[in-house]
Structure 1
């Protein structure tokens, strides 16, 4: 019940600020390529952004548990939104690791950005993508001897 998450919502002028900060981070040259004008327009057309942050606990086990909890929270947020016809994209752009990005959007020292949620009503429903079959992802162990065989 730690609830290690915190949300920063960017709307209206706040959204414009976030997009400008993202653009400036790209232009510093630390990232693969600068932001193209059409990408800038696309980002500005998104109705809302929510930056999801977590307290970065220095203890590895707690950090991992908190990161898993925040990730599950984001997934639940996406599912609840989708149920209401709201589209949501969980973005992990490289800028989420930049200390200057953090400082400019209100992320506090000792916090980790887990993702930037892009939120709006989609013009179309994306087609489902092919997933790996369960047979390729699931191993069923019915006896200890199977573990020895799989070494």
Structure 2
């Protein structure tokens, strides 16, 4: 596929078949990620490839956050939501967390966030080319201080900006975009 075909066909994937992703495929996606443009070559991105033991720890955080958002702790509804969320998170074939090194000034922080976003897009496009789907989540798991504790890091110097849930797609949805004429102005 051409790069434009990959860009146009890529979808966020929410359902995966239970199949492990080979390490060389993960590394290919990470290699694509680190070639993202970044102002002043700051290379602000950091990645954590999560193994099954750590995924089990993160699953508790994920499930608690999901359940607390919808029900009161200790209720039957809470327990039901918690169990479903726990199972859902544990079923994700691969989780990768993405962080951004925090610069000292606001302008660089903004530039670095843009660079990290580009890195994630590169990652997703490389994954899609080898038939791996990705969901970029910015949910509460990346804000929870327990996640930082599991990763043994301080949120002073580094901020988590995404959880990449990835695997071989179970189903791929369709999408459309507005024509460029609706979103573009050509000025003389």
TM-score by length of 1: 0.81
Higher RCO, Cα 8 Å, sep 6+: 2
- Listed as ranges, the gaps of 5+ residues in structure 1 are 143-151
Aligned length, in residue pairs: 138
| Residue 8, structure 1, aligned to residue 48, structure 2 | yes
Is the CA contact (8 Å cut-off) linking 1:10 and 1:50 kept in structure 2?
A: yes
CA distance in 2, matches of 1:12, 1:95: 16
Deviation at 1:33, TM superposition (A): 2.5
Is the CA contact (8 Å cut-off) linking 1:87 and 1:120 kept in structure 2?
A: yes
Question: Residues 8-39 of structure 1, C-alpha deviation per residue, up to 9 Å, x if partnerless?
Answer: 11121111111112223445x4xx32572223
Q: What is aligned with 1:148? A: none
Moved over 6 A (4+): none
- Listed as ranges, the gaps of 5+ residues in structure 2 are 1-40, 72-77
Q: What is aligned with 1:119? A: 166
For the pair shown, the structure with the greater C-alpha radius of gyration is 1
Question: Residues 57-114 of structure 1, C-alpha deviation per residue, up to 9 Å, x if partnerless?
Answer: 2311101110010000000001001111111110010332233432233342321111
Is the CA contact (8 Å cut-off) linking 1:53 and 1:107 kept in structure 2?
A: no
Give the counterpart of 1:62 among 102, 108, 111: 108
CA distance in 1, matches of 2:141, 2:50: 16
Q: CA RMSD in A?
A: 1.9
CA distance in 1, matches of 2:103, 2:66: 28
CA distance in 2, matches of 1:26, 1:38: 10
TM-score by length of 2: 0.66
| Residue 19, structure 1, aligned to residue 19, structure 2 | no
